[in-house]
Amino acid sequence: MDPLVLGSLYGIVTLIVMFTGMPIAFSLGAVATGFMYFFMPAASLDTVTQNVYEEIASITLLSIPLFILKGAVIGKSPAGRDLYSAIHVWLHRVPGGLGIANVFACAIFAAMAGSSPATCFAIGSAGIPEMRARGYSPSFAAGIIAAGGTLGILLPPSITMILYAVAAEQSLGRLFLAGIGPGILLVALFSGYAVFRARKEYRIAYDIYKNGGEKSTCLENEHFTLRQKMEMLPRVLPFVFLLIGVMVALYGGFATPSETAGVGALLAISLIVVVYRIWKPKDLAPYLTSAIRESGMLLMIVGMSLLYSYVMSYLHISQSAAEWVVDLHLSKWLLLGTILILVLCLGFFLPPVSVILMTAPIILPPLKAAGFDLIWFGVVMTIVMEMGLIHPPVGLNIFIIKNIAPDISLAQVIKGTLPFLALMFLGILLLCLFPGIATGIPDVLMGINK
C-alpha cells in the first residue's frame, strides 16, 4: 500500500478511536498495535513492551516525574496564594498593578512548577476573586489568569520542552535557555495589556460614578505600609530562592536536569514542611498521590506516543509525509506558517505532549531542510501550543478557570482570552522578525548552535 494512503488511514483511524472517548495513551497504543498486527511482521508484536520500555527509559525523561512532584508540592500548598498576595501588595500602586501582579505571579509560579494547569489553578484561586472584588470585569479576570497559566509550558523548567528536546534530539539546556527571552516578552505584552485594560475599566467605572451610579471598588485607593509589605516576604522568599537555586544549578553546569529536578523536589517538600508545617504523612499524601498519578499518566502518553511514532517510521508514513511536504516546494515562511496552523488545529483537541510526539517525525525534517533552527522552532511551537490551551473548543485552561469560578460563563472566559491570543500571535511575529529573542541567551552562554 502506498505510504501516503496508509498514512491517511492511520490518521483517520486515530481520530475515530480518540473521539470514542478512550484515553489518549490507550488510543495511540491501540492504533499502533493494530497497524503492527495488520501491516508489519507478526514478530513485531513481540517487541511492543520492549519498544515502550526503551522509549521511556531515558535519563532525560527521568526529570519529568521529579519536576511534576516539585510542581504538585508548590501548586497544592498555600505557596501560590502567598506568592500572589506578596506581589499584589508590592505592585498595588502601579496602574493595573493587580493585573500585573497576576501575570508576574503566574510567571514566577510557572518557573517553579513547570506546569500550566498547576499555575492556572494555584494563582487563579486567589487572583480571580481578588480582581473581581476590586471591580475588574469577570472576562478580564478569567482571561489574564488563563493566559498567564500558559507560561508554565514556556518558562523553564517546562515538561513540554523536555519532551520536545527528546523528540527533536536537541539540547535540553539550550532549549530551556531559549524559552527565557520569549517568556519575558510575553510577560511584558500581558502586563502592558493589563495596564491598558485597567485604565479603560477605571474610566468606565469613574463615568458611571460621576453620573450618579454606584461607586466601584476599583476607584478606591488601597494603601499598604512598609511593615505590611515586609511581612509578606518571609513566606515567599524561600520559594524564590528555590527557583534561583534550581536555575543556577541547571545552567551553571553544576547538575544535570534530572539531578536538578530531584534536588528541587526535595527542597520544595522541605520548604512546605518548614514554612507551612505540612509534615504529617496524611498531609503529604495528597502531594505525592497527585505527582504519581500525573507522572504515570504522562509517561504512559509518552511511551504510547513514541510507539505510535515508531510504527509511523517503520511503515514509512512519516518519511513519505515529510517528502510530500518538501515536494510542495513551499517558500520557507509559507512552510512554517502551514506547519504552525497544523499544530494550532491539533492543539484544539490534543494536549501539547501528544502534539509534539505525534508530529515531530513529520514536521521537523522539512523545517531543518528549510534552514530553521530547531531550538528556535521549539520555542515558537510551544507558544502556538500555549494558544491551544486557551482556545476553544477544548482549551484546558479555559475549563480550569470554569472550575475555579463556575459563576463566570464560558462565553465570558473565552471573550477574556481573545486579546491574549492576539498578543501571543504578536509574540510569534516578533520571534520571526527577531529570532535572537529566543536564540540570543543560549548562544551567549553555550556558544552558537551549529
Q: Average pLDDT of 281-299?
A: 82
Residue given cell 501571543 in the structure block: 424
Question: What pLDDT score was predicted for residue 393?
Answer: 59
Give per-residue pLDDT as tens, 425-440: 999 999 999 999 999 9
Q: Is the pLDDT of residue 370 over 70?
A: yes
Q: Is pLDDT larger for residue 215 or for residue 293?
A: 293
pLDDT-derived band at 378 (thresholds 50, 70, 90) equals: very high
Give per-residue pLDDT as tens, 9-24: 888 888 788 778 788 7
Question: What pLDDT score was predicted for residue 377?
Answer: 93
- Per the CB < 8 A criterion, the answer to whether 99 and 140 are in contact is yes
d(Cα 134, Cα 294) in Å, to the nearest integer? 35
Residue given cell 463556575 in the structure block: 406
Q: Is the pLDDT of residue 446 over 80?
A: no
Pick from 173, 169, 79: nearest CA to 122: 79
Domain residues of the chain, as ranges? 59-293+390-446
Pick from 423, 386, 434, 387: nearest CA to 187: 423
Q: Which pTM was predicted?
A: 0.76
Torsion, Cα of 93, 94, 98, 102 (10° steps)? -130
Q: Is the pLDDT of residue 147 over 80?
A: yes
* Composition of the chain by helix, strand, coil, percent to 5: 80, 0, 20
Q: Is the pLDDT of residue 185 over 60?
A: yes
Pick from 138, 120, 118, 119: nearest CA to 129: 138
**φ and ψ at residue 214, rounded to 5 degrees:** -70, 145
Q: Average pLDDT of 225-243?
A: 77
pLDDT-derived band at 424 (thresholds 50, 70, 90) equals: very high
- Per the CB < 8 A criterion, the answer to whether 378 and 419 are in contact is no
- Per the CB < 8 A criterion, the answer to whether 162 and 64 are in contact is yes
Question: What pLDDT score was predicted for residue 433?
Answer: 92
Q: Which of 139-143, 211-215, 334-338 has the lowest mean pLDDT?
A: 211-215
Question: What pLDDT score was predicted for residue 426?
Answer: 94
Q: Is pLDDT larger for residue 228 or for residue 211?
A: 228
**φ and ψ at residue 26, rounded to 5 degrees:** -75, -30
Question: What pLDDT score was predicted for residue 263?
Answer: 83
The amino acid that residue 123 corresponds to is: I
Question: What pLDDT score was predicted for residue 43?
Answer: 77
Give per-residue pLDDT as tens, 62-111: 777 887 787 778 767 777 677 777 777 777 667 667 778 888 888 877 77
d(Cα 425, Cα 337) in Å, to the nearest integer? 12
- Per the CB < 8 A criterion, the answer to whether 131 and 137 are in contact is no
Burial class (CB in 10 A: 0-12, 13-18, 19+), 283: middle
Pick from 108, 102, 72: nearest CA to 294: 72
pLDDT-derived band at 450 (thresholds 50, 70, 90) equals: low
